[in-house]
Structure 1
Amino acid sequence: MDLNFAGRVTRVVVVEEVSQVGQARREALSMADAIGFDEMDAGRVALAATELATNVIKHGGGGRMYLSVVCGRGGNGIELCTLDAGPGFSLAEAMPDGYSTGGTQGLGLGAIRRQATVLDAWSDDKGSVVVARIYASRAARDVDVPYGALRLAMRHEVACGDAWHLRADAQSVGVTLIDGLGHGLPASDAAQAGVAAAAERGNAAAADVIGALHAAMSGTRGGAAAVATVNVGSGALEFAGIGNISATLCEPTTTRGLASHPGIVGVQFRKAQPFHFHAAAGTLLLMHSDGLQARWSLRAYPGLFHRHPALIVAVLQRDFDRGRDDTGIIALRLGDLH
């Protein structure tokens, strides 16, 4: 399996009234068309978006939908994620047709399940998060890649200064996260220059990728960057970071922070000294910019560690986003890509 994918900016649709269900549907259709879905598969995406947005209004009292392009094995897909502050529900109970907490026919989640390759949900006293991933009908059964990512521009901005890149081949996996200095177009230009360099470096060592980012981002305002590479066979992980990118290796009962060095990639830093770790299969690698507070702990969410990484990312963004900067997050379940 070969992956070489740069994350696109996540689209956000506020869903607080019935008219905004149509907006969510149109955004989903536009995104499906952009990645080459045919009419039937685009219709599946539109149906799922409509049902999810409708559920947010009827059962969650309003909320928002995140729409992302996701990379799969052999083709891209669409991820729809809704967040609300409603009373919550049990996914297992709500899945069968006919179940409803709001006096409806109870067909929504069942309809979404029939369209989606991935459907996962989380409910607690802060509300509900639902994630659905839809791939082309011709895609292989194992098309989904166990990662989650959000690339959210600061409120009232279109361009996002945070960017990420995911690479994988038979021998190794690489993850790059960049936080362009500041926000808006200049920060986005810096981050995009770095992501383009990461895409060209193949399976280079983490410190070498940082060097390539530094050269590519020279002449921009620069930014923070971190790179993690994992050897598939041995589980050896190499991490190199410059600036305030947070990175953590999460296991069911323990976490390990991965340290970065001071400096600004593209401007000045002393050395991208790499650190080496062993990451067993099933370990969750989670990296994020300072748009997300660093005081989160998965232990505060019993059972969340074992859920799809896309759901983990969405729950953490819901609860720890600072709300005054771009936010970039990527989480990858190690050992599961192959």
Structure 2
Amino acid sequence: MDPLTPRPSDTWLRVEDSSAIGAARRAASQLAAARGFDEEHVGQVAVAVSEAASNLVKHAADGQMLIRPHPRAETSIEVMAIDRGPGMADTLASIRDGYSTTGTLGIGLGAITRLSDAYDLHSLPGKGTVLSMHFTMRGAEPPDGGACGLTRPVGEEVISGDAYAFHESAGVITAIVCDGLGHGVQAAAASQEAVRVFAAAPPEPPGRLVERVHRSLGQTRGGAVAVARVDRAAGRVTYAGVGNISGWIAGFDGRQGLVSVPGIAGHNARRIREFDYELPPHGVVVMHSDGLTERWDLTGYPRLLRHGAHVIAGTLLRDWAIRRDDACVLVVRATP
């Protein structure tokens, strides 16, 4: 891939009127067909996505949908619906067919739960709802939902200067987040180069991976880079970073910051160091660019940490992203 034509960012579809329902349905149907879903399954995906989009139009404020190929499974697609609407106090009741808080026929969430191969839902009154759905081609192994990365470009840009990647081997997830310096194509070229080097590297500790990325970014603008190695079985996190990528371990008792050294990867970095941390059994590792404020706090979201990585990442992006900057957040759960 030409380094000046980086991979497009996640494409978020605003869902504010009925015309967006058809657009979401078509995008999901085309993606499912391209991934090898049979005709009946494509139809089920279309119905589930249509119901999710309809719920956003009817009940939500600032409703958005993400429809994308699963980054680690060629036979799966992911759909997320995020809003700042009134929220729901009882999500289990809302899933039952016939239940409604607005006098409309409450069949949407019930259909979604039946037609999706996996789903997760978190909602709070006054904050809104985050819905995650996965669809997997019949007969294929569904992917592990214990890790999720999301990006959102600044303003009306279509390419984000932030990027992420992760892979898993024998229960160990290794993840990278890079924030290319500035915005636009040149920033994206730096972050995508970091992801390319990460993906092509042999198995190495995070410190060596960051050093490898640092050496590769000299012909780009450079940026902030961090790598985390999450060993679920051992309950340990090894972390290394250069610049202002924020790394955290969050649990029911609060959160702990992960240390990066000052500098700009590719241009000016002090001696890169690794740090080891304990990962609590129900904790999560959160990495994000400075497109999210560091002031986020999950204590105001009851039971959120019991949900999957997609819902946690979606909630962080919705409530703590900064509108004037590219944003990237990656979440890895201690348990799948």
Fold shared by both chains (TM-score > 0.5): yes
Instruction: Report the alpha carbon displacement of residue 243 of structure 1 after superposing the two structures with TM.
Output: 0.6
Residue 95 of structure 2 is matched in structure 1 by 95
Residue 44 of structure 1 is matched in structure 2 by 44
Instruction: Report the alpha carbon displacement of residue 32 of structure 1 after superposing the two structures with TM.
Output: 3.0
Matches within 5 A, 1:1-338: 9-60=9-60, 63-71=63-71, 75-116=75-116, 117-140=118-141, 143-170=143-170, 172-336=172-336
The 3-state SS of whatever aligns with 1:237 is strand
Determine the C-alpha separation between the residues in 1 that align with 2:33 and 2:154: 26
The 3-state SS of whatever aligns with 1:250 is strand
Determine the C-alpha separation between the residues in 2 that align with 1:181 and 1:38: 43
Q: Which amino acid aligns with 1:235?
A: G
Query: Higher mean Cα deviation, 123-132 or 186-195?
Result: 123-132
* Aligned-residue RMSD, C-alpha: 2.1
Instruction: Give the count of matched residue pairs.
Output: 329
Structure 1 residue runs without a partner (length 5+): 1-6
Determine the C-alpha separation between the residues in 2 that align with 1:62 and 1:221: 34
Q: Report if aligned partners of 1:174, 1:203 keep a CA contact under 8 Å in 2.
A: no
Determine the C-alpha separation between the residues in 2 that align with 1:321 and 1:231: 28
Determine the C-alpha separation between the residues in 2 that align with 1:31 and 1:289: 29
Report % sequence identity.
Answer: 33
Instruction: Report the alpha carbon displacement of residue 171 of structure 1 after superposing the two structures with TM.
Output: 5.7
Q: Report if aligned partners of 2:11, 2:67 keep a CA contact under 8 Å in 1.
A: yes
Q: Report if aligned partners of 1:74, 1:143 keep a CA contact under 8 Å in 2.
A: no
Q: Could you report, residue by residue, the CA deviation over 1:198-223 in whole angstroms, capped at 9, with x for unpaired residues?
A: 11124210011101111222201011
Determine the C-alpha separation between the residues in 2 that align with 1:277 and 1:63: 37
Query: Higher mean Cα deviation, 286-295 or 216-225?
Result: 216-225
Structure 2 residue runs without a partner (length 5+): 1-6
Distance 1:61 1:292, change over 3 A: closer
Distance 1:104 1:216, change over 3 A: same
Determine the C-alpha separation between the residues in 1 that align with 2:111 and 2:171: 38
Determine the C-alpha separation between the residues in 2 that align with 1:46 and 1:29: 6
Determine the C-alpha separation between the residues in 1 that align with 2:171 and 2:64: 39
The 3-state SS of whatever aligns with 1:218 is helix
Instruction: Report the alpha carbon displacement of residue 232 of structure 1 after superposing the two structures with TM.
Output: 4.4
The 3-state SS of whatever aligns with 1:173 is strand
Determine the C-alpha separation between the residues in 2 that align with 1:163 and 1:206: 17
Instruction: Report the alpha carbon displacement of residue 87 of structure 1 after superposing the two structures with TM.
Output: 4.8
Distance 1:61 1:206, change over 3 A: closer
For normalisation by structure 1, the TM-score amounts to: 0.90
Q: Could you report, residue by residue, the CA deviation over 1:27-81 in whole angstroms, capped at 9, with x for unpaired residues?
A: 2234334544443333333222211110111122562222333345684322222
Instruction: Report the alpha carbon displacement of residue 24 of structure 1 after superposing the two structures with TM.
Output: 1.6
Determine the C-alpha separation between the residues in 1 that align with 2:246 and 2:26: 35
Q: Report if aligned partners of 1:291, 1:328 keep a CA contact under 8 Å in 2.
A: yes
Q: Could you report, residue by residue, the CA deviation over 1:283-320 in whole angstroms, capped at 9, with x for unpaired residues?
A: 20001000001101111212211112211111121111
For normalisation by structure 2, the TM-score amounts to: 0.91
